A and B are shown apart, each in its own frame.
Chain A
Amino acid sequence: MSDKRIFIKGNEAIAMGALAAGARCFFGYPITPQNDIPEFLSKAMPDAGGEFVQAESEVAAANMLLGAAACGIRAFTSSSSPGVSLKQEAISYMAGSELPGVIVNINRGGPGLGDIGPAQGDYFQAVKGGGHGDYRLLVLAPGTCQEAYDLMIESFDLAFKYRNPVMILGDAILGQMKEPVEPWKPEGINPEEGKDWALYGASDHSPRIIKSLFLGEGELAGQNQHLREKYEAMQVEARAESYLTEDAELVVCAYGSIGRIVKSAVRKLRANGKKVGLFRPITLYPFPSNELLELAKKGKRFLTTEHNLGQMVEDVRLAIRTVADSEFFGFMPGNLPTPDAFEEPILAALERK
Chain B
Amino acid sequence: MKDELVFKRPEVMADVTMHYCPGCHHGVAHRLVAECLESMGLVEKAIAVCSIGCSVFLYNYLKLDSVEAPHGRAPAVATGVKRARPDNFVFTYQGDGDLASIGMAEIMHCANRGERVSVVFVNNTVYGMTGGQMAPTTLIGQKTTTCPGGRCRDREGAPIKMAEIIAGLGGVAYCARVAVDSVKNIVKAKKAIQKAFEVQTQGLGFGFVEVLATCPTNWRMTPVAANARIAEEMIPYFPLGEYKDVTKEGGTC
Which of A's residues lie within 8 Å of B, judged by CB?
A: 24-25, 27, 51, 53, 55-57, 59-61, 63-71, 73, 75, 89-90, 93, 97, 199-203, 206-213
Give 3 nearest A-B pairs by CB, closest first: A67-B80, A64-B80, A63-B76
Are A70 and B106 interface neighbours, CB within 8 A?
A: no
Residues in chain A near residue B64, CB distance under 8 A: 202, 207
Q: Which of B65, B76, B105 contacts A202 (CB 8 A)?
A: B65
Are A70 and B81 interface neighbours, CB within 8 A?
A: yes
| Extra contacts besides A60-B105, A63-B69, A97-B67 (17): CB < 8 Å | A27-B80, A53-B79, A63-B70, A66-B70, A67-B77, A67-B80, A71-B47, A97-B68, A199-B85, A200-B65, A202-B63, A202-B64, A202-B65, A209-B68, A210-B67, A210-B68, A213-B56
Selected interface stretch from B38-46, B152-160, B199-207, B225-233: B38-46
| A and B contact pairs by CB, cutoff 8 A, 29 listed | A25-B80, A53-B79, A56-B109, A59-B76, A60-B106, A63-B69, A63-B76, A64-B79, A64-B80, A66-B67, A67-B67, A67-B69, A67-B79, A67-B83, A68-B81, A68-B83, A71-B47, A71-B80, A71-B85, A90-B73, A97-B67, A199-B65, A199-B88, A200-B47, A200-B85, A201-B88, A202-B63, A207-B63, A211-B68
Complex formed: what's the CA distance from A209 to B88 in Å?
16
Most buried by A among B59, B64, B76: B76
Residues in chain B near residue A71, CB distance under 8 A: 47, 80-81, 84-85
Residues in chain A near residue B36, CB distance under 8 A: none
Are A209 and B66 interface neighbours, CB within 8 A?
A: yes
- CB of A216 to closest CB in B, whole Å: 11
Residues in chain B near residue A65, CB distance under 8 A: 80
Are A24 and B63 interface neighbours, CB within 8 A?
A: no
Q: Does B172 contact A (CB under 8 A)?
A: no
Residues in chain B near residue A57, CB distance under 8 A: 105
Complex formed: what's the CA distance from A57 to B109 in Å?
10
- CB of A73 to closest CB in B, whole Å: 4
Which of B's residues lie within 8 Å of A, judged by CB?
A: 43-47, 49-50, 56, 59-60, 63-70, 73, 76-85, 88-89, 105-106, 108-109, 113
Are A75 and B80 interface neighbours, CB within 8 A?
A: yes
Query: Nearest chain-B residue to A57 (Cβ)?
Result: B105
The A-B contact count (CB < 8 A) is 138
Are B83 and A25 interface neighbours, CB within 8 A?
A: yes
Residues in chain B near residue A73, CB distance under 8 A: 84-85
Most buried by A among B47, B59, B79: B79
Most buried by B among A25, A61, A203, A209: A209
Are B65 and A201 interface neighbours, CB within 8 A?
A: yes
Most buried by A among B47, B65, B85: B65
Complex formed: what's the CA distance from A25 to B78 in Å?
13
Residues in chain A near residue B106, CB distance under 8 A: 56, 59-60, 63
- CB of B95 to closest CB in A, whole Å: 15
Complex formed: what's the CA distance from A51 to B50 in Å?
23
Are B77 and A66 interface neighbours, CB within 8 A?
A: yes
- CB of A69 to closest CB in B, whole Å: 8
Complex formed: what's the CA distance from A73 to B60 in Å?
25
Quick one: given A53-B79, A67-B81, are A209 and B59 in contact (CB under 8 Å)? yes
- CB of A212 to closest CB in B, whole Å: 7
Query: Nearest chain-A residue to B82 (Cβ)?
Result: A67
Are B49 and A67 interface neighbours, CB within 8 A?
A: yes
Complex formed: what's the CA distance from A59 to B104 in Å?
12
Residues in chain A near residue B82, CB distance under 8 A: 67
Residues in chain A near residue B44, CB distance under 8 A: 201-203
Residues in chain A near residue B70, CB distance under 8 A: 63, 66, 89-90, 93
- CB of B125 to closest CB in A, whole Å: 25
Residues in chain A near residue B88, CB distance under 8 A: 199-201
Quick one: given A67-B84, A71-B84, are A210 and B76 in contact (CB under 8 Å)? no
Residues in chain B near residue A64, CB distance under 8 A: 76-77, 79-80, 83
